[in-house]
A and B are shown apart, each in its own frame.
Chain A
Amino acid sequence: KPLPTFQPSHLSLSLSTLTDLIGSAVIRWRGDMFSFVSPCAAPALAVTGPGLLPQPDQEDGLEEQPPGLFDGFLWMAAPKKRRTIEVNRTRRRADSKLLKVKNNIEPCPECGHLKQKHILCGFCYAKVCKETSMIRQQIKAAEGGPLRAPTVETVVLYEGETPSEQDKDKRIVERSRKRPAWFS
């Protein structure tokens, strides 16, 4: 059996029925208060119900807006869609991200180690460095202390070499080994 349905429509008070009940009194609705004004009395007395008195600085309502688009943490950049593998591949394999091929590598004609064309061979320079450090050790022993640079040129002589005509005014540094082939 269907239950008797409750129909509240005929119980609700519409404005027209309210006016009929109260009679010919005019009901005005202003904001949050009722005011009854009877049309018979000459000096109209507006009786206002208890309600909030108007505040002079009630401007918060005007300025209260929902948080703007740029406030809060909900507006932040986020990816909309998953990046597909094709898009990822084109980005990862872009020409600027691939390793560049160097075509300026060649073998050193002296030692055969690889070197770049515009850069000295590392092996040959290490050889030269070792010999210069040995020469500098001899110079240090000859000078005997710091800040004693001589005011004459220096010449390096190896075993069995005698100073030549050009070397007569120079300071002689002796190295106790045979002259290497790469030091003319």
Chain B
Amino acid sequence: MRLTLQALISHGRVARKMGLGPESRINMLRNILTGLVRHERIETTQARADEVRFYAEKLVDYAKKGDTDEKAMKMANFWLTEKDLIPKLFKVLAPRFENQSNGYTRMARLPNRQNLDRAKMAVLEYKGNPFPPLYPVKKENELSLINQLLKGYREERAQQLADKA
């Protein structure tokens, strides 16, 4: 028999509360999403980045339907407050991701903000943006000792197989 009210306990509730209420949360996420579509890489708190990620990917899914689709245009019109980004969404972001089905965004955690609040920060970006990568691409150096030794070993093996045949 339940002795306490369900409303007073929040065990297992995964939905985040942000801002002044659900409407304020949507407005805040809409602003962040507009900034993301404009700049393609933004830095916010980790919770906000995590929430916007879902909406960013859903927006690209809607954009893939094409700008003649009524629902897609309504969604883009609602979510992008700066209306010069609607053509960018349909003509730049949708073709960029036409071969992928999910995972259009990348979120990485940053060191905590240096303010008094020490908030957890994250950087959120659309993949394929023109900026320098967050994770440095590891380039194999052909001239390092191990690579030279392995190259020599591969050549010797190739030569032995050629001699046998």
Write the residues of chain A forming the contact surface with B, with a CB cutoff of 8 angstroms: 110, 115-116, 118-120, 122, 124-125, 128, 131-132, 135-136, 147-156, 173, 180, 182-184
Contact = CB atoms under 8 A, between A and B. Distances in A.
B100 to A, nearest CB: 16
Contacts of B136: 110, 124, 182
B131 A132 contact: yes
User: Number of contact residues on B: which range applies?
Assistant: 20 to 34
A135 B137 CA distance: 20
B56 to A, nearest CB: 16
Interface of B: 38-39, 41, 82-85, 87-88, 91-92, 96, 108-111, 123, 130-137, 139
Nearest to A148: B84
Contact of B109 (A119, A149, A173): A119
Contact of A149 (B85, B96, B132): B85
A120 B108 contact: yes
Contacts of A119: 109-111
B110 A155 contact: no
Contacts of A110: 136
Given A119-B111, A120-B109, A120-B110, A183 B84 contact: no
Contact of A155 (B41, B96, B123, B130): B130
Contacts of A156: 130-131
Nearest to B38: A149
Contacts of A148: 84
Contacts of A125: 110-111, 123, 134
Nearest to A131: B132
Contact of B137 (A149, A154, A180, A184): A184
Contact of B132 (A118, A151, A152, A183): A183
B123 A132 contact: no
13 contacts: A120-B108, A120-B111, A120-B135, A122-B111, A132-B41, A132-B132, A135-B130, A136-B39, A147-B83, A149-B84, A151-B92, A182-B136, A183-B132
B89 to A, nearest CB: 10
Contacts of B39: 136
A151 B85 CA distance: 8
A153 B130 contact: yes
A152 B91 contact: yes
Contact of B84 (A116, A136, A147, A155): A147
A180 B132 contact: yes
A93 to B, nearest CB: 25
A153 B39 CA distance: 12
Contacts of A151: 87-88, 91-92
A148 B85 CA distance: 8
A3 to B, nearest CB: 79
Given A125-B110, A136-B39, A147-B82, A184 B133 contact: yes
